[in-house]
Amino acid sequence: MDIIDRDLQSIQEIRCIVRKAKEAQKKVRDMSQEEIDKIVKAMADASLEHGERLAKLAWKETGFGLWEDKILKNMFASKNVYEHIKDMKTVGIINEDKKNKIVDVATPVGVIAALIPSTNPTSTTIFKALVSIKAGNAVVFSPHPNAKNCIIETAKVLVHAASVAGAPEGLIGYSTTPTLEGTKELMCHKDVSLILATGGEAMVKAAYSSGTPAIGVGPGNGPAFIEKSADIPLSVKRILDSKTFDNGVICASEQSIVVERSIKEEVISELKKQGAYFLSEEESERLSQFILRANGTMNPKIVGKSVKKIAYMAKLDIPDDTRVLISEQFTVSRDNPYSREKLAPILAFYCEDDWEKGCERCIELLRNEGIGHTLIIHSQNEDIIKEFALKKPVSRILVNTPGAIGGIGASTNLVPSLTLGCGAVGGSATSDNVGPMNLINIRRMAYGTREIEDLRNNESNQKKLEIPDELMELIINRVIEKLK
């Protein structure tokens, strides 16, 4: 009887894929900007054409979110991202500073390992393929096992379109047997130049620990602060629109609402009016048992699920028109599930005496989880908005916009991206919304503008201008005498 070990099969498959990707990348790095742009456009067009089909595949396979919203995410990943990157210079000389005589030359990093999450599987695959190829790299996908089929199908669409447009075979690769061992092999492979990791905290940490350069993004836990000058009905609408988009699986979506005491009742009334259900203390306790697993990580059973399914699971009796479940909270800790990331239509609600206390609460929530990621503020007071921007340990401060679509650059003018860096404070190599420019190295050619004699003369001139301490003291004493 033949015995096939999936882990060994996965490792061998990765080795073969990376070898092909390396050979393909050697050919692509000699292509012109026009040739690469042709491939990228073909991939974007094909992704847009198959966007609805891929969205439905993702929804059926994972059970997360809403397929209608996944169509919008696929459109964003293909159309919005493409429009942003299509005219970027990513090949050869990309900038010339004639005054300072410095020339910037773009060089691709090589083979990129792209780890794809189950929460946004098809859109993230499209996005990472476009930005990787635009930068002249090859890309190898490691699918999340729970979204394997839809990720592979998306990759096949991209491979076919790229091939027709002139891409060499192997430029886009994907594992058909994803295992933990296979992913480790990919991350540690000597021919992989960079890891682009999107997913859970443990996976991102593994990417950074692999020994291969990595761009990883951690969890979000973005608080939304409503300041008393805000347009409350519009602020509530934006928060609920964001938290219900794809049932809350985008990591930039709001996780808590923080309000000033003077507007607490007005905000609660507006939330209820727009479909929020405030849980009683007993209901909050019951639901809390389903938010986290015993090991302290988010329970996948609630991720991307509808309010009705979550209520049924927790045996909650809620109105039929409920959009979001809200629990008023007074503490922040790793053991309080409401103060953690919840990729579902569930929000915590905090009330503070004033905006300064609200600022402190937001920082506390971020330090609990999601530091470096995203914060949302609703306000018309520019001074307070600037205070938040100066003090919050995040990479994105979103002002008067829904968190989910604002963070990725759909409702803001941030770089359109589905990989949101958290900066050094959040354990990430970048604070950017990742794009093609994060996936190239820049070779700088610098012409000489000074000779060694010039440097020596400058040093001599500086010494001539130095005033001895004794003389300086005498000058100061003379000035003091005149002032008297």
Show which residues are catalytic.
251
Nearest to 131 by CA among 408, 419, 373, 395: 419
Decide: residue 470, CB within 10 A, 0-12 exposed, 13-18 middle, 19+ buried. exposed
Q: Rounded to whole angstroms, how far apart are CA atoms 290 and 63?
A: 17
Q: How far is CA 38 from CA 133, 304, 341, 344, in A?
A: 11, 36, 40, 39
Q: Rounded to whole angstroms, how far apart are CA atoms 375 and 420?
A: 13
Q: What's 325-362 look like in SS3?
A: EEEECCCCCCCCHHHCCCCCCEEEEEEECCHHHHHHHH
Residues 233/446, Cβ–Cβ less than 8 Å: no
